[in-house]
Chain A
Amino acid sequence: MAYNVLIVDDSRAMRLVIKKTILASGIDVDEFYEAENGIEALTTLKNHRLDIILTDFNMPRMDGMELLQELKKDDRLKTIPVIVTSVEGSRRRVDAFMAQGAAAYIKKPFTPEEARDKLNYVLGVNSHGETKTAASGESLDF
């Protein structure tokens, strides 16, 4: 399965690093989308179907926590897994993200292996790049 991925970070350099990390991790990506902040991310989400979102926390205009809160209010968007990638490492803030519904947290600095493991965990991809559903023959459809 190929995924549509949205990367939200006010640093273009970091967006590129995350994109390269995802590609290096072997995850099959159909399309990458990018946004500089939460507001841009929500605009992108109006027009495109996304499978996973990676968002920074500290961004101008709308930060990662506000974005997460907006996503969880929207029935169409609340099931999209969100991975928070941030330099913020305080236990309380990480717990707050998870309580708000983040699927995982990747703290910067991160190694490519750490990022790959979290992505695979969230997407349910095994070491051969197959999703759990594909490997087991189960379906996610109800």
Chain B
Amino acid sequence: MEKRKLLQAAKASISEVLETMFFLPIDRTDIVEAIAFNGAINDDMEFVEVGFSGMFSGTFLLVIPDDLALFLTASFLGSIEEKMLPAHIRETKKEMVNMIAGNTFTHFNDQVEFDLGIPEIVHARDALNGSGRGEETIYQSHTLEKFLFIRVALED
């Protein structure tokens, strides 16, 4: 019951963060199977992951295509895509997953404390192998005819 509530909070958080901080309207967010997630990524991609602990422990992983990441970074920083450097994009992705995770916990229950780690870059091959730490839920958010994934892994 509480896990389900946390996952619902994650879904709400994705839309809220993207709309508030990145000015990006989300068409819809669906739960998808791992096969859809694995099929959309390749070995060269960089993802961002943040760990958390508290009532539940686990990770949030953000998977976002390069073109959408570039668009969002420029939007977030109030600049134009041509001026964005790889470092800008990495930092923006880190901040995005950080806010989605933190905001999830506030939506879940603001009386409960969670400890959030520092977001880190992870490589696709590790993500493809799965978190290996229990239950995973993968959200696919659709926007601007593109999509991004957030994988929430909860430890047993």
Residues of A within 8 A of B (CB): 10-14, 16-17, 20, 58, 60, 86-93, 107-111
Rounded to whole Å, the gap between the CB of B24 and the closest CB of chain A is 12
Residue on B nearest A10 in the bound complex, by CB: B118
Rounded to whole Å, the gap between the CB of B103 and the closest CB of chain A is 6
Judge whether B45 is part of the interface by a CB distance below 8 angstroms. no
Judge whether B91 is part of the interface by a CB distance below 8 angstroms. yes
Question: Residues of B contacting A92 with CB < 8 Å?
Answer: 111, 113
Q: A107 to B91, alpha carbons, bound, how many Å? A: 19
Q: List 23 A-B contacts (CB under 8 A).
A: A10-B118, A11-B98, A12-B91, A13-B73, A13-B76, A13-B88, A14-B91, A14-B95, A20-B78, A58-B116, A87-B99, A87-B101, A87-B102, A87-B103, A87-B116, A89-B106, A108-B21, A109-B20, A109-B21, A109-B99, A110-B20, A110-B21, A111-B20
The proximity string for B residues 103-127 relative to A, scoring 1 for CB distances below 8 Å and 0 otherwise, is 1011000111110101000000000
Question: Residues of B contacting A91 with CB < 8 Å?
Answer: 110-111
Question: Residues of A contacting B78 with CB < 8 Å?
Answer: 17, 20
Rounded to whole Å, the gap between the CB of B83 and the closest CB of chain A is 12
Q: A94 to B144, alpha carbons, bound, how many Å? A: 35
Rounded to whole Å, the gap between the CB of A16 and the closest CB of chain B is 6
Residue on A nearest B87 in the bound complex, by CB: A12
Q: A8 to B135, alpha carbons, bound, how many Å? A: 35
Question: Residues of B contacting A13 with CB < 8 Å?
Answer: 73, 76-77, 88, 91-92, 94-95
Question: Residues of A contacting B110 with CB < 8 Å?
Answer: 89-91
Are B105 and A11 in contact (CB-based, < 8 A)?
no
Residue on B nearest A114 in the bound complex, by CB: B20
Are A90 and B99 in contact (CB-based, < 8 A)?
no
Q: A11 to B56, alpha carbons, bound, how many Å? A: 26
Interface centre among A10, A58, A90, A92 (most CB of B within 10 A): A90
Interface centre among B94, B95, B110, B118 (most CB of A within 10 A): B95
Closest 7 CB pairs of A and B: A87-B102, A89-B106, A13-B91, A109-B20, A109-B21, A90-B113, A91-B110
Rounded to whole Å, the gap between the CB of A96 and the closest CB of chain B is 10
Question: Residues of A contacting B113 with CB < 8 Å?
Answer: 90, 92-93
Are A109 and B118 in contact (CB-based, < 8 A)?
no
Question: Residues of B contacting A11 with CB < 8 Å?
Answer: 91, 94-95, 98
Question: Residues of B contacting A108 with CB < 8 Å?
Answer: 21, 98-99, 102-103
Question: Residues of A contacting B94 with CB < 8 Å?
Answer: 11, 13
Contacts A109-B16, A110-B20 hold; do A17 and B77 have CB atoms under 8 A apart? yes
